[in-house]
Amino acid sequence: MINEFKNKTILITGGSSGIGLSLINFFLKQNAKIINVSRRRPAIKNKNLKHLDFDLTNFKKYDSLIKKIPKMFGLIDYFIHAAGVHFIKPIRIISDTDIDRTIDINLKAPILFSKYFLNKEIFNKPSSIVLISSVMGVVGSSGQSIYSASKAGLIGFTKSLSVELSKYKIRVNCISPGVIKSPLFENYSKQVTSDMSKKVIESHPLGIGTFNDINFSVKFLLSNDSKWITGHNLIIDGGYSVQ
């Protein structure tokens, strides 16, 4: 089987933890070259991994950031936006800062990155893009209004951007994960009762997912195996959203 990711360059945001870190490990095993953009360096030592220490809300610095990237591994073949902000708060205590931070990272950052996709000195063509949304962008949940709004916006952005970029042979898709077994969920489980934690698990008919459920889905959407798919939101939630 041909490994189409070997020696290809993937730009990823938010690779210092969670889904982003898992994707970095996964694609390094595919012998891809990874450029991670985040405020913290991933705890990985690999010659095929480069890190750019950057705050994604520093929008005025995007031009200088992007200009650095081709000097590392050459042109970019794939882009994954995995950076995200998530918190649970009732709407009555949501602040302006909460709104700005969530929208800036979850939605504004990938929108601004997209401006550079057509730059032939930065991105190869054809190329493929995957944006990490959430099942909360598809269904509602108490205390997650701002988060849900940002992720729903990302899904809508994906659909329109995919049409705009299709003539340039650039595919744009997103995935919407449910709850997965992760340090984030483990921390949540420690802060709530065992009944509440059990309820979250039982709300996913197939149980909560794993990082690999996300990794292989992203691989599929980036790869030529999905060459006729664009503008799609792949829901990966163990049945949570269909109940």
Known catalytic membership, residue 147? yes
For residue 239 the two structure tokens come to 């049945």
Crossing angle of helices 183-191 and 194-202, in 10° steps, is: 140
102 within 8 A of 146, measured Cβ to Cβ: yes
CA 30 vs CA 42, 113, 173, 175: distances in Å: 18, 25, 21, 20
**C-alpha angle with apex 33: 222 to 101, nearest 5 degrees?**
70
The C-alpha atoms of residue 131 and residue 106 are separated, in whole angstroms, by 10
Q: Which residue has the tokens 């959203």?
A: 241
Out of 147, 168, 188, 240, which one is annotated catalytic? 147
For residue 153, give the amino acid letter: G
The C-alpha atoms of residue 208 and residue 182 are separated, in whole angstroms, by 10
For residue 128 the two structure tokens come to 């493929």
Catalytic site positions: 147
